[in-house]
């Protein structure tokens, strides 16, 4: 069973003038814990933050501990820069901190020093345990089960594109095709699409489908084993690496099984002419996607990467509190 941590009520209101948000967030372990309205509020707050000047003191005097058990580029930089731009401070810690002592003891100790904790790890259960033990908010920066910050940035990027393209904000009728491994990114994307009205088609080889627990009844989610079905008339085509961190020994065998699932010029011809291509990065160019696609005018990959910063700033404001 999927282990999720349901949060206590935290009133986070009045950060942005007349806009008032009351989102019941103590931690962000899973998008499963957020209602449709709460996800919408996060996206609205992200849009406002992105449009505002960078100088801010909303998190003045606040600190965030960052624990990395997995290598990081976008997660590390976006959280550190986000805290700086909000007037706070980030402390990056190595994986050794959670190897020397129980994760519960880490959480209890850090709670005496910092305003929040971000953990990027392998085992999802470790994030759950840390959240239970800590008296300050805990953010899942990635686990083997979910990547909630990435998925929120993904649906925000889609919403931005919808606005530029003059499409419905509610996303009714929008088809998102995720073609690749049914991994942690796929799981969180399933939850995020379900809560934002996006129709998600997942195409993956047999045996690599996402966990059944993520088939949220709220959303329109279809799982197939044919990338052509998913790509046909898609508004969005999304992929991720076929071999995630920690699975390097499987790369050769997975490449063989996923060979027909590459996002290339032929496959994207099936999508709508104004489709957008998305990838959470890092990309293994020449494997899951060709240069021709990722560097095309339809690619919003680096807008998507930038939006990690803005979405996480919204999350930090809601979780850590701040001044107007």
* Integer Cα distance of 214 and 130 in angstroms: 22
Q: How much helix, strand and coil, in percent to the nearest 5, is found in the chain?
A: 40, 15, 45
Per CATH, the architecture of 31-147+307-320 is what?
3-Layer(aba) Sandwich (3.40)
Which residues sit opposite 224 in a β-bridge? 203
CB neighbourhood size of 123 (10 A): 13
Please give the CATH number for the structural domain made up of 150-305: 3.40.50.1370
**CA distances (Å), origin 169, targets 155, 237, 268:** 11, 18, 24
What's the token pair of residue 178? Answer: 């995720």
pLDDT given for residue 127 in this prediction: 96
pLDDT digits (tens, 9 = 90+) for 10-36: 233 233 333 334 445 689 999 999 999
Q: Which of 158-167, 263-272, 276-285, 293-302 has the lowest mean pLDDT?
A: 158-167
Phi, psi of 311 (to 5 degrees): -65, -45
Average pLDDT over residues 56-74: 92
E-state strands within the chain: 63-68, 89-93, 116-120, 138-142, 175-179, 199-203, 221-224, 236-239, 276-279
pLDDT digits (tens, 9 = 90+) for 158-215: 999 988 766 655 556 799 999 999 999 999 999 999 999 999 999 999 999 999 999 8
* Mean pLDDT of the residues in the chain: 88
Phi, psi of 108 (to 5 degrees): -65, -40
* Integer Cα distance of 294 and 289 in angstroms: 7
pLDDT given for residue 321 in this prediction: 86
Which residues sit opposite 222 in a β-bridge? 201
Q: What is the DSSP letter of 115?
A: S
Residues identified as active-site:
120, 147, 150, 240, 280, 308
Q: Where in the chain is the domain with CATH 3.40.50.1370?
A: 31-147+307-320, 150-305
pLDDT bin (cut points 50, 70, 90) of residue 216 is low
pLDDT given for residue 47 in this prediction: 96
Is the pLDDT reported for residue 67 higher than 60? yes
What's the token pair of residue 6? Answer: 């349901």
Q: What is the DSSP letter of 281?
A: S
pLDDT given for residue 150 in this prediction: 98
pTM of the model: 0.90
Closest CA to 73 of 315, 317, 324, 309: 309
């Amino acid at each position: 069973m999927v282990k999720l941590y349901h949060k206590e009520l935290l009133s986070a209101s009045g950060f942005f003038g007349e806009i008032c948000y009351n989102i019941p967030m103590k931690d962000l372990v899973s998008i499963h814990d957020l209602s449709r309205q709460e996800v919408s509020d996060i996206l609205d707050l992200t849009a406002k933050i992105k449009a505002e000047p960078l100088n801010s003191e909303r998190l003045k005097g606040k600190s965030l501990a960052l624990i990395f058990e997995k290598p990081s580029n976008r997660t590390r930089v976006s959280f550190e820069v986000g805290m700086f731009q909000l007037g706070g401070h980030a402390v990056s810690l190595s994986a050794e901190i959670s190897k020397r002592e129980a994760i519960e003891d880490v959480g209890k100790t850090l709670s005496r020093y910092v305003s929040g904790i971000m953990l990027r790890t392998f085992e999802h259960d470790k994030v759950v345990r840390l959240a239970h033990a800590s008296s300050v908010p805990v953010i899942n920066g990635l686990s083997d089960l979910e990547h909630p910050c990435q998925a929120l940035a993904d649906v925000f990027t889609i919403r931005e594109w919808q606005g530029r393209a003059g499409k419905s904000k509610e996303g009714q009728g929008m088809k998102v095709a995720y073609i690749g491994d049914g991994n942690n990114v796929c799981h969180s994307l399933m939850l995020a699409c379900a809560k934002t009205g996006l129709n998600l088609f997942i195409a993956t080889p047999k045996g690599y489908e996402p966990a059944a627990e993520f088939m949220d009844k709220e959303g329109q989610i279809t799982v197939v084993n044919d990338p052509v079905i998913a790509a046909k008339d898609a508004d969005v085509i999304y992929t991720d690496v076929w071999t995630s961190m920690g699975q390097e020994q499987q790369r050769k065998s997975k490449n063989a099984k996923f060979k027909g699932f590459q996002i290339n010029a032929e496959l994207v011809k099936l999508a709508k002419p104004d489709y957008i291509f998305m990838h959470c990065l890092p990309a293994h160019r020449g494997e899951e996607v060709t240069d021709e696609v990722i560097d095309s005018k339809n690619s919003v990959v680096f807008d998507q990467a930038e939006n990690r910063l803005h979405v996480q700033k919204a999350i930090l404001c809601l979780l850590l509190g701040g001044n107007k």
